[in-house]
Amino acid sequence: MNAAKFSKMFLRFAAVSCVTVAIAFCANLTSLKPGKAELKSAGPLAFGPDGILFVGDSMGATITAIDSEDRTPGRAGAKVEVKGLNKAIAGMLGTTPDQILVNDMAVNPISKNVYLSVSRGRGPDAVAMILRVDLAGKITEVSLSNVKHSTVSLPDAPAEKEGRSNPRLETITDMAFVDGKVFIAGLSNEEFSSSLRSISFPFEQAAKGSSVEIYHGSHGRFETNSPVRTFVPYNVLGKDYILAAYTCTPLVKIPVSDLKPGAKVKGTTIAELGNRNRPLDMIIYKKGGQDYILMANQSRGVMKMPVNGVDKLTAITAPVPDKQGLSYETIAELKGVAQLDKFDDGNALMLFDDAGSLDLRTVALP
């Protein structure tokens, strides 16, 4: 093939690709309509295409997609460092730090600005807010009064109950956007209440979630009512999976292809990472040609786990000691990490709880 002909073919392919991308961009954004975004609560966050932020509202049993209008690329080599984040937020909102709860954070992959879901106040009267922290550390509120957005309701959310064990608070425990779909973990009103679901975006009507059953080796039993606490999507030999972590801390592999509305799904337990522990957040990254999970935990620090070869691990189907399966190392210098997200290919963004002071900073991936 001569150079001129190849050049024409390449330009034609590039033009078609640009049109396809433009159509997808328009479809994503035109599905969002201006108006007030109603949030009863603001919990898990996830970014999708074009700077669209997804907000999980457990009390309202909804997912809301918001146009952040934040599409200017962040500068190369940028870092973030904010000390006393909760104190700065409290000062901005005219309250005290003990009345501020930072529920989740997400890095906009385009701008590298940080988004926080925040509760101002405690209990049923708490006000749900979304805040933005820019690369200079400036904190601003994302106005929800007239923002382009769309909302989808979850049809099988658990009923509200009084007290701290209200299952409605765990309708949505984690979220991720992958290949045109929002994946959502949490609880449902089904008998097997642990739930995983996917919803196509732009939003259509949401169907029931899939009920998930796992074997918990350190507990020595099958469990169906404990929600996934945090998860990452991962492709194993061309097949898409959810790698999900639960309280006390089984790590479970769940095929995405099994997540059909109303289905009962059995996950494969590939690790027990230690009981008396609650996983808080996890990301996946590549370093030195290897894939790793980085997981922040309530009582067992930050774990680094290699996941190459996860398909070869033997399923845990019987009672085991405290730890078994996938190996890990604890990153000793990372203490008090409450939340984390991937910042760029070489860094994570971490929220540290240092004796009640919440400090936000980028950290090199170990």
Q: What is the mean pLDDT of each run of 10 residues along the chain (366 residues)?
A: 50 48 67 97 97 98 98 94 97 96 98 98 91 97 97 97 88 97 98 97 95 96 97 95 97 97 97 96 97 97 95 94 92 97 98 95 98
Alpha-carbon distance of 276 to 274, in angstroms, equals 7
Element (H, E) at 30: helix 3-30
Which structure tokens are listed for 73? Answer: 């690329």
| pLDDT on residue 6 | 45
- The region, left, alpha or beta by phi > 0 then psi within -120 to 50, assigned to residue 120 is beta
As to burial, measured by CB atoms within 10 angstroms (0-12 exposed, 13-18 middle, 19+ buried), residue 146 is: exposed
Q: Name every residue whose Cβ is closer than 8 Å to that of residue 313 and which is 6 or more positions away in sequence.
A: 270, 271, 325, 326
| pLDDT on residue 20 | 47
Task: Tell the residue number behind the tokens 């922040």, with chain if given.
Answer: 296
- pTM as predicted: 0.92
Domains in the chain: boundaries = 174-280+306-325
Q: Do 232 and 253 meet the contact criterion of CB atoms below 8 Å apart? A: no
Alpha-carbon distance of 228 to 279, in angstroms, equals 9
Element (H, E) at 9: helix 3-30
Residue 31 DSSP one-character state: T
As to burial, measured by CB atoms within 10 angstroms (0-12 exposed, 13-18 middle, 19+ buried), residue 260 is: middle
Task: Tell the residue number behind the tokens 């009962």, with chain if given.
Answer: 264
Task: Tell the residue number behind the tokens 């790590």, with chain if given.
Answer: 251
Alpha-carbon distance of 206 to 31, in angstroms, equals 16
Long-range Cβ contact pairs of 49-52 (< 8 A, separation 24 or more): 49/24, 49/25, 49/177, 50/25, 51/108, 51/110, 51/111, 52/28, 52/201
What angle (nearest 5°) sits at the alpha carbon of residue 299, between those of residues 297 and 300?
Answer: 65
Amino acid at 105: M
Alpha-carbon distance of 127 to 146, in angstroms, equals 17
Q: Do 176 and 56 meet the contact criterion of CB atoms below 8 Å apart? A: no
Selection from 113, 115, 96 nearest residue 104 by Cα: 115
Q: Dihedral of CA 270/273/276/280: which sign?
A: negative
Question: Helix %, strand %, coil % for the chain, to 5?
Answer: 15, 45, 40
SS (H, E, C) 191-256: CCCEEEEEEECCCCCCCCCEEEEEEECCCCEEECCCCCCEEEEEEECCEEEEEEECCCCEEEEEEH
